[in-house]
Amino acid sequence: MTDKTIKVALAGAGAFGIKHLDGIRNIPGVEVISLIGRELDKTREVAAKYGIGHVTTELSESLAMAELDAVILCTPTQMHAEQSVACLKAGKHVQVEIPLADSLAGAQAVVDLQKQTGLVAMCGHTRRFNPSHQYVHQRIQRGEFHIQQMDVQTYFFRRTNTNALGQPRSWTDHLLWHHAAHTVDLFAYQCNSPIVAAHAMQGPIHPVLGIAMDMSIQLKAANGAICTLSLSFNNDGPLGTFFRYIGDTATYIARYDDLFTGKDEKIDVSQVDVSMNGIELQDREFFAAIREGREPNASVGRVFDCYRVLHELERQLAAQG
């Protein structure tokens, strides 16, 4: 794969799939040759915009293409594990958007099959790649900063079933298995220390969506660092996830790709990596791992422990009723 163009199929032509298509445009030696979507007409519109020749509603049709090397899955959470397994069984490298699965068993199945096949299998834990979090990670690696506490707010306004573009969604999102996964993984990754204690509480269940709309999670790493995570689909205000790193030498606030001091002074992170787009950087790592025949950052094996923690939190919430 050193010189060959990597030929890719992308499943899920919605809001996040388009973010990947935009990022891939900036990556040389990669071509999206197939686009899979739930609604054929809308998928054709997106394919025409990005010059993608093959359009289908069936992942299996794309997997049957002999020239296809890899797949990026931006599909509903409930499909991630099953589709990742299908890609690996078809001999294709796969990057699945976060979360890897909505159950520990599903995550384990993908990890086990990746080990059998030796293919690159990566999960979209984007926070590992955002320049803001990379800046903090590099300071930690140099021994210049040690996390004492992370305070994280993940806030959306989704009292109806809509996606990031405000469009109707065909599936139901989940605070624990999707949005908490970002922080659970990032906390352990930045601390370079496994999570040894985790606790959760949730608010009332939405009468129509059938999910908790508010949740609170506490984590502790083996090195003593702690994390407090607040999640809500009820927040009528600024949307997104905001990370406050409280350390022994500084305080940082990360808002996606941007970084600020604890006094809200902006930090220049433009030289941290080749792009300021975390999704593009995530995709660059996926394709580099394929070319170099190595395990990527955020491989399914490296993020698996996050899903062990989510499983334990789910058990706690079920026990609380």
- % residues pLDDT > 90 (the chain): 88
| pLDDT (tens digit per residue) in 165-176 | 566 666 567 899
| pLDDT (tens digit per residue) in 186-244 | 999 999 999 999 999 999 988 888 888 999 999 999 999 999 999 999 998 888 899 99
| pLDDT (tens digit per residue) in 256-266 | 999 999 999 99
Task: Pick the closest to residue 35 from 16, 55, 7 (CA basis).
Answer: 55
Instruction: Report the range of poorest mean pLDDT among 3-12, 64-73, 235-244, 308-317.
Output: 235-244
Q: What are phi and psi of 6, to 5 degrees?
A: -80, 125
Question: Per-residue b/e over 57-70, b at no fewer than 16 CB within 10 Å?
Answer: eebeebbebeebbb
- % residues pLDDT > 70 (the chain): 95
Residue 134, pLDDT score: 98
Instruction: Report the range of poorest mean pLDDT among 78-82, 167-171, 284-288.
Output: 167-171
Residue 164, pLDDT score: 58
Distances (CA, A) of 57 to 51, 71, 88, 318: 17, 14, 19, 36
Question: Per-residue b/e over 228-265, b at no fewer than 16 CB within 10 Å?
Answer: ebebbbebeeeeebebbbebeeebbbbebbebbeeeee
Supply the mean pLDDT for the chain. 95
Q: How many residues does the chain have?
A: 321
Q: In what order do the strands lie in the sheet with 251-255?
A: 195-202, 214-221, 226-232, 147-155, 240-247, 251-255, 258-261, 266-267
Residue 211, pLDDT score: 86
Query: Is the pLDDT reported for residue 253 higher than 80?
Result: yes
Residue 163, pLDDT score: 58
Residue 125, pLDDT score: 98
Residue 100, pLDDT score: 98
Residue 261, pLDDT score: 98
